[in-house]
Amino acid sequence: MPDRPLFIDSLRLLLPAERCLVDPMSLATYASDGLTAFEVIPRAVVLPETADEVIRLVKLCHEHAVPFVARGSGTSLSGGSVPIEEGIVIALNRMNRILKLDPDTRTAVVEPGVTNLSVTKAAAPHGLHYAPDPSSQQVCTIGGNVAFNSGGAHCLKYGMTANHVLGLKVVLANGEVCELGGDSLEQVGPDLTGFFCGSEGLFGIALEITLRLLPRAACFHTVLVGYRSLDMAGDTVSAIVESGLLPGAMEIMDRLAMDAAEAAVHAEFPPGSESCLIVELEGTPEQVAAEQPALMKIIEQSQPIEIRVARDADDRLRIWKGRKSAFSAVGRLSPDFIVQDGVVPRRRLGEALRKISKLAADHGLRVANVFHAGDGNLHPLILYRGDVPGELERAEVLAGEILLMCVAMGGSLTGEHGIGLEKKANLGSMFSADDIDVMMRVRRGFDPKEIANRGKMFPGGNAPALSQHGLHPLESAGVMSRM
């Protein structure tokens, strides 16, 4: 590792001093991401404003073998953008320009610091939108969406970020600049853009991203349904999928999540219900009119407490505001919570929810369930009190057991939040040692010095300790012993 003052001097030759942060107060701001249990103070934080500056920074890091992590808004919930000890943070928020928006080809070229929602806002006057819509879409950046292959409420119909990225200009960890894909849906050769999406920053940094835009649906039919139990809502999702319908979105919230969102944004969820299901049909008026009777028949036969159809556009937005505010609103119920991100087959949703309820009861903890029911992507929010001895440890154990349950049911460790720091010790529960070895060899092919987001995704290495108790979340759950 190079001498600290000398390396900082080299950084300041590339950027003005006001964009090369080294004071303790500024560094502390970047010590964590959305998973605040992990905390690492970086050596420096740099704020590039152009692609050329990013390239020069990466080349400098490669030359001196200094690890770096690229960061957008820091909304990662898996510790994916936590800094690396003795490394630097390359914060990309100032690279927030939409470089091109072509309504004829339905494409946009954006820098990595552009926020998700701002793309749709820019495309809206042309009758277009950007389909992936994470709950944090007001603040999360396209660069972060690419790194973790983010989804959102409407990924059931439209797919994940990788389905909407046509091309990338990237700088690899060795400083080499590459063009992946292009601006057309018709690509020749291997899908290198899809390969880069979801790589969690282990290959390098996206400098420019060419996005596919879609026509905005002309008609919506949004239904909010209340149920007596959480698994009844899950079983309804399975019935809708089995019918052959493909709604734009299907989301489930339980009573805890509804109470929190109701207090935050007055979403008017069905009173007396233990869960609610949001189903949205979208498309042409003819398509929605044809699908609506089949959907309503399934819902009416599912023994709901209440069925409410959005009266108008404002009512529809109120329903979605309630759903998308749920993560932050749960902070009203508990100052501390762990968000998980496992996936189960849709046909087993009801079973999975019953198991989560039992596991939570066994550990004496509350769990608020908010998730993308359409693709089986569970987001159980495990509530705990950090100031109560032993509660964090119990929450960690419960989180690990939920993940293992998802894998055992034929699902996945993650749907869109990534592996990051939080789940890397559990990678072996889903992949064989040979699988992981191949992944690591591919990573080293792009980054022989392993300086790009070092320590993330793969088991082993020195993960930062939890800021409160010094325990790795899944180590305490007994997952590491299974490796």
* Number of Cβ within a 10 Å radius of residue 354: 14
Tokens standing for residue 333: 């119920």
Do 236 and 227 contact (CB within 8 A), yes or no?
Answer: yes
* Number of Cβ within a 10 Å radius of residue 285: 11
Quick one: CA torsion of 325, 328, 334, 338, rounded to 10 degrees? Answer: 110
- Coil, helix or strand at residue 387: coil
Cα 196 to chain centroid distance, Å, stands at: 16
- Coil, helix or strand at residue 187: coil
Cα 215 to chain centroid distance, Å, stands at: 24
Question: Looking at residue 63, what DSSP letter applies?
Answer: H
Tokens standing for residue 309: 């159809």
Whole-number pLDDT of residue 6: 87
Pairing mode, strands 219-227 and 306-309: antiparallel
Q: In Å, what is the CA distance from 319 to each residue of 35, 266, 323, 461? A: 27, 9, 7, 44
Question: Measured between alpha carbons, how far is 356 from 30 in angstroms, rounded to an integer?
Answer: 33
Q: In Å, what is the CA distance from 226 to each residue of 149, 276, 309? A: 31, 4, 12
Whole-number pLDDT of residue 435: 97
Whole-number pLDDT of residue 3: 64
Whole-number pLDDT of residue 461: 60
Tokens standing for residue 322: 């309630």
Whole-number pLDDT of residue 464: 54
The pLDDT tens digits along the chain (483 residues) read: 566 778 999 999 999 999 999 999 999 999 999 888 889 999 999 999 999 999 999 999 999 999 999 999 999 999 999 999 899 999 999 999 999 999 999 999 999 999 999 999 999 999 999 999 998 999 999 999 999 999 988 998 999 999 999 999 999 999 999 999 998 888 888 899 999 999 999 999 999 999 999 999 999 999 999 999 988 998 899 899 899 999 999 999 999 999 888 887 777 889 899 999 999 999 999 999 999 999 999 999 999 999 999 999 999 998 998 888 887 788 888 888 888 899 999 888 888 988 999 999 999 999 999 888 888 899 999 999 888 998 989 998 999 999 999 999 999 999 999 999 999 999 999 999 999 999 999 999 999 999 999 999 999 765 454 443 333 333 333 332 222
Which of 332, 401, 314, 420 is CA-nearest to residue 368?
Answer: 332
Residue 308 bridge partners (DSSP): 224
Q: In Å, what is the CA distance from 373 to each residue of 40, 309, 350, 402? A: 34, 19, 10, 16
Whether the full predicted model's pTM is greater than 0.85, yes or no, is yes
Whole-number pLDDT of residue 2: 60
Strand order in the sheet with 107-110: 98-102, 107-110, 204-212, 165-172, 177-181
Residue 277 bridge partners (DSSP): 225, 252
Residue that has been written with the tokens 């009801």 in this structure = 350
Domains of the chain: 4-91 (3.30.43.10), 104-215 (3.30.465.10), 219-259+277-323 (3.30.70.2190), 330-482 (3.30.70.2740)
